[in-house]
Structure 1
Amino acid sequence: MSNTIASLNRKLNNAADLKAVVRTMKAMAASNINQYEQAVSASDNYFRTVQLGLAACFHQREFISVSAQPQHKGSGVIAAVVFGSDQGLVGQFNDVIAEFAINTLEALPGRKIIWPVGERIQSRVTGSDVEEGSRFLLPNSTGAITPLIGRILVEIETQREKGNISQVYLFYNCPKTNANYTPMYQRLLPLDASWQESLAAIPWPTHSLPEILNHTEEMLSALVREYLFVSLFRACTESLASENASRLTAMQRAEKNIEELLQSLNQSYHRLRQSSIDEELFDVVSGFEALGGVSHGKPF
């Protein structure tokens, strides 16, 4: 009986320690969500501004044929930048985006290469029919996102100049309400005529139509660089916000399960402890009655 009680006591201590870890992870996820949601909001606003700047260029029809990006002869290979997570305890976060990316890429013609961003997503894409290329580590704060985006852009430009890739897609989880997320993708390159026409179709928000007077090519080139940067930045921040939302949900679920386990263990512990006490009292009473019976049986 004592061994069973000791075992339950150890389980209670382990569950309490695990609950403390879960509460810490939950607090960290809640704190991180705030900074990444702010980054998402800022990147959305800036992305909209860059789009309007490009639309201002392309609203003038004579500039539609202007090449916004140096064209390289590609091999028809598609490079896919897939944002996952470096850490665990995120539920199905990595599985969802990995499956979505692989299924989407398999429907496209030609050879594909995945560039995973995050250690956890790497294991999800390894072993699929899609090849694995360069690997990147996720930042642990909003301040470290910009250097990551810089490395990805350098890799994209290097591979395009070598003619190793011709198209680039972004795959990431986008945060939704109630701590949910949904997988998304965006074609980043090439910046072809259809891309230019889609921007030219964006309605201007005011009645005063824009006009580019001087340095059109320089303006267009600068806006294209910002477009590529903010597209990657936005994908990364939305993925990080979704990751922490998923972790928060997983920790809330784990905390609830641990509390139920603790309640069950406590009930079992107290029940066994009470049974042990009852048995000890029964032994005492039985011994007392036995001694009392012997005493009454002796003549004085």
Structure 2
Amino acid sequence: MSDGIEALRHRIDSTADLQSVVRTMKALSASNIGQYERAVHALEEYNRTVELGLMACLRQADVPLLVTEPQASANVATGVIVFGTDQGLVGQFNDLLADYVTHSLSALPGDKQVWVVGERMRDRLEDSTLPLVDLLHVPNSLNAVTTLVGQLVVAVETARERGKISGLCLYHNRPGEISGHYEPVNQRLLPLDAAWQQQLRAQPWLTNKLPETLGSSLQTLAALIREYLFVSLFRACAESLASENASRLATMQRAEKNIGEMLEGLTHSYHQLRQEGIDAELFDVLAGFGCTLQNTPLKS
């Protein structure tokens, strides 16, 4: 009986420790969601500034409408960036995005070169026919996001300058409207969409003083496109991290509920087993006391 009680006590202590770990992970995920969502919101104004710069450049007479469709070539591929996770406890986060990526790219003609962010996403895409160019690790802070995005921009520009890719597509999970939900999305970053360029050209300027670019308009445009890539990749990475933490938070909430129910059941079993042990001990005492009374001779 005592061995069973001690084993049950040990299980209760282990379950309580696991519950404490889950609560800590919940708090950490909730905190991370807030900082990444704030980062996405803060990018809106900077993104607007970049768009205004592009609008000013595209309004110049010496800047033609940029090429919007890649030239067909057997040696030129489409670049693809996929944001996944390095860690687990995120449910179907990587599986859903991997299925979305493979299905979407199967309809895209030509070869592809894929940069994968996250070891677990790499594992999901390895079984496909997509050629994986490089693996990058998921950042664990906003400062690390800046470093990662800088590496991606350099890698993309180098591949374009060497003629290895003619376009760039981006895939990641974005937080949904319902808390804990997310959805896979994609965006074609390069070449710039023709309708988007025409829309920028047609927008009225904010004041009656029309903007002008200093120096070469094409060089300024190239610098702004670089900033456009940086902002787009940073926002995608932040949205992916917010989605990852939201998924982990939902997983931890379900785990906490299950652990609570398990702990309640174990505690009930422990008290029941302990009470049975106490009852057995009382029964033995009473039985022994009864035998003592029977064996005690009566005094005259």
Please report the TM-score for the alignment, with normalisation by the length of structure 2.
Answer: 0.88
- Cα separation, 2, equivalents of 1:24 and 1:181: 22
Change in 2 beyond 3 A, CA 1:92/1:205: farther
Does 1:264 pair with 2:265?
Answer: yes
Partner of 1:275: 276
Change in 2 beyond 3 A, CA 1:46/1:18: same
Cα shift at 1:39: 0.9
Change in 2 beyond 3 A, CA 1:96/1:106: same
Quick check: 1:50–1:226 contact (8 Å CA) kept in 2?
A: yes
Residue 212 of structure 2 aligns to a residue in which SS? coil
Cα shift at 1:15: 0.6
- Cα separation, 1, equivalents of 2:59 and 2:47: 18
Superposition pairs of residues 186-265 of structure 1, within 5 angstroms:
186-191=187-192, 193-194=194-195, 196-200=197-201, 203-204=203-204, 206=206, 208=208, 210-212=210-212, 214-215=214-215, 216-265=217-266
Unpaired runs of at least 5, structure 2 = none
Quick check: 1:74–1:165 contact (8 Å CA) kept in 2?
A: no
2:186 is aligned with what amino acid? Y
Structure 1, 220-229 or 58-67: larger mean CA deviation? 58-67
Partner of 1:179: 180
- Cα separation, 1, equivalents of 2:227 and 2:60: 20
Aligned residues: 296
Partner of 2:128: 128
2:143 is aligned with what amino acid? G
- Cα separation, 2, equivalents of 1:227 and 1:85: 24
- Cα separation, 2, equivalents of 1:141 and 1:93: 20
2:58 is aligned with what amino acid? F
Structure 1, 157-166 or 119-128: larger mean CA deviation? 157-166
Cα shift at 1:120: 2.0
1:23 is aligned with what amino acid? R
Provide Cα deviations, 1:57-81, integer angstroms capped at 9, x if missing partner.
334576333679xx99783422211
- Cα separation, 1, equivalents of 2:224 and 2:295: 104
Residue 27 of structure 2 aligns to a residue in which SS? helix
Structure 1, 74-83 or 204-213: larger mean CA deviation? 204-213
Residue 16 of structure 1 aligns to a residue in which SS? helix
Quick check: 1:74–1:163 contact (8 Å CA) kept in 2?
A: no
Partner of 1:10: 10
Partner of 1:109: 109
Quick check: 2:57–2:213 contact (8 Å CA) kept in 1?
A: no
1:176 is aligned with what amino acid? G
Change in 2 beyond 3 A, CA 1:74/1:175: farther
- Cα separation, 1, equivalents of 2:72 and 2:222: 16
Partner of 2:98: 98
Cα shift at 1:34: 2.0
Residue 185 of structure 1 aligns to a residue in which SS? strand
Partner of 1:166: 166
- Cα separation, 2, equivalents of 1:257 and 1:54: 52
Provide Cα deviations, 1:213-251, integer angstroms capped at 9, x if missing partner.
653233322211111111111111111111112222221
Q: Percent identity between the aligned chains?
A: 49
Unpaired runs of at least 5, structure 1 = none
Superposition pairs of residues 29-44 of structure 1, within 5 angstroms:
29-44=29-44
Provide Cα deviations, 1:143-183, integer angstroms capped at 9, x if missing partner.
12121111111211222233222221111111233232211
Quick check: 1:64–1:196 contact (8 Å CA) kept in 2?
A: no
